Structures are given as C-alpha cells and as structure tokens.
Amino acid sequence: MRLMMYWYVVHVKLERGSKLVNFFNQQDRIKAFIPKMERWYNIKGKKDYIIKDLYPDYVFIKSKMNQLEFNERFKEFFKSIDGFAQLLELEDVYVLKTEEQVLMEKLFDNKDIIRHSIGNIVNSKLIVEKGPLVNLENKVIKIDRHKRLAILKSDFFNRITVPLEVVSKS
C-alpha cells in the first residue's frame, strides 16, 4: 500500500511551533499542524471535554514529497533555524513508518484533533463503539478510566495517549 502523504515530525524549542506551522502552511504540497486531542476535565463541577495540545513541542508535517524531496528542499532551512527547531531523527529516518502514518490517519480527524472514543469493557475485553479507536482495541495497552485515557503502544514516541470514555464494565 502506497500512502499519498508522508508524515514528518519537527521538535520545536522556545514555544515557536505556531510560527513553524505558519511557515510550512505557506509552502506548496504541505500541511503542518500541532496535534491536539480532546481531554476530559472537571473544573469547578463543570465536566466536559476540551481541546489541548497532544505534543506541544512538536510540529507534524504532512507532504506529498517523499523523504528525499523533503530533505533536499528544506535542508538549508533546518540548518538556518538550528536551536529553534530540528527535524526529528529516528534512526536517521525523518519520515514516520508506514504503519505509524496509517495509525495517525485513523486517529486524527480532518481538524488534526484526536476525538474521544466511547466503549465498554465486557469480560475484561475493551469494545469501542464510537470514535477513532473503533477496530483498534488490540493496540490499547492500558486504560485509565478515571482520567478517561487509553495508552496505545507505538514505535512513535513509544506510546500514544488518546481519550477514551469507558461507559460500563461487566
């Protein structure tokens, strides 16, 4: 399976992610964003989901340019902003692995937010009925019902935390 988009990750220093997002979003064939997720909060008795940065120090870049094209086009740019941001290198690979890209495509909505999923635990097994975790139950390695979070095992950042509301356990 060949993906139409390649995903790149940039570590941003000094809280300048929005400037980097703006720069890349002005380029052709590129979409940059700071990933967000819904997070459950109980503030002064008001309970609701709010949108928070998932990885505030990282900018995700989706591009139709493969790794070679991307590196060629932005090599000098990243040298010029060293100390401000750097392309994340995982074993000399700048682009996310295919399986990680597929997972990210499933988790994020069209606004680059991971929305909460709703599920039940039946006979010690998670069954997700609604949300991006549908059919991804086998990736969940831990559930925190109090904080309404699930942790997925991933090569990328070692794990990914996503919102999950477990409405019943039997």
The 3-state secondary structure of 114-133, one letter per residue: ECCEEEEEECCEEEEEECCC
Structure tokens at 35: 């990933």
pLDDT by position in tens, the chain (length 170): 455 789 998 888 767 788 899 999 999 889 999 999 999 998 888 889 999 999 888 899 999 998 888 888 988 888 887 776 666 654 333 578 888 888 999 999 999 999 999 999 999 999 999 999 999 999 999 999 999 999 998 877 778 999 999 999 88
